[in-house]
Amino acid sequence: MENEIKRLEKNKSVTIVVMLVIMLAIVLSACTVLSGGDTEYVDPKTKEVIGQAKTMLQGVKSGDTEKIANLFSPIAKEKHPELEKDIKKWMGFIDGKIISCDDPVVDFWDKTWDEDGYIILGGSAEIDNVKTDTGKTYEIIYGLYATVRDHPEYEGVTDLLVIDTEKQEQVNMEDKEIDLSDAQKSVGYDLSLIHISEPTRLQLIS
């Protein structure tokens, strides 16, 4: 009788362990599906933006304003014919020729989605340690929308920023001899997506 009780207790323990393993597998499977679904879409977009960043660097190195302007969204190019002139001034902020830089880093921080996928996927790309032959170091950052499902004319680069890292450090230290405009140069236009994305977000919340 005692042996039978022990056998039943052992079988019960095994059953509990098996159930826990099955439950864990289900949870991990669900996480994989959700994460994989996101990764499956975002990873190609990340690669696309990295390619975009490399094209931008080529444009800066060669002084090709058209190459950089072509990365901007169609709506930006349509509404701002002065874009290439602004880009030329922006490039003029960089002292010397670029000789090296870090690999681009992409961060998608603006995400809105539904059961069909992303409605909006936006963020920024950053290229650090952009060094020139004059001994200067810069950071190049730009904003972008990789996906705007219902308004593809907004897809593309939205703004550019170049930062002189040495002067920016002086600004951060509240050096009164250095103004923020001495440390940064930007190209950007008021092309907010709030009027497009907010109704969608509100609809998803309600």
Asked if 186 and 160 count as a contact pair (C-beta separation under 8 A), the reply is yes
Segments of the chain with pLDDT less than 70: 1-41, 190-206
Q: Residue 14 has what pLDDT?
A: 46
Asked if 178 and 166 count as a contact pair (C-beta separation under 8 A), the reply is no
Measured between alpha carbons, how far is 26 from 8 in angstroms, rounded to an integer?
A: 27
Backbone angles phi, psi at 69, to 5 degrees: -60, -35
Per-residue burial over 61-70, b if 16 or more Cβ lie within 10 Å, else e, is eeebbeebbe
pTM for this predicted structure: 0.74
For residue 81, the SS3 value is coil
Tens digit of pLDDT for each residue in 4-15? 544 445 455 545
98 alpha carbon, distance to own chain's centre: 23
Tens digit of pLDDT for each residue in 9-40? 545 554 554 454 445 444 444 333 333 445 66
